[in-house]
Structure 1
Amino acid sequence: MVRTKLDNRIRVIVENGVAKGHRSMFVVVGDKGRDQ
């Protein structure tokens, strides 16, 4: 399994959600996302 570098936006979304007490959700799409 090759680890892909995560976009910095994901970390920002999670940190903002924790700071404001919100739930944050993001969908992780891999290189083969079309096959799913």
Structure 2
Amino acid sequence: MKFLEEVYAVLGSTVQRFWWSKVGGVLGYLMNPPA
């Protein structure tokens, strides 16, 4: 069971990082719309 916990932890952090980078990109786009 320890192995599964580690896999879930890695997947969770990867999804979180991807999600936050996506949110940051959208926010940056809204704050500085291309000319």
Structure 1-normalised TM-score? 0.40
Larger Rg: 2
Structure 2-normalised TM-score? 0.40
Higher relative contact order (CA 8 A, sep 6+): 1
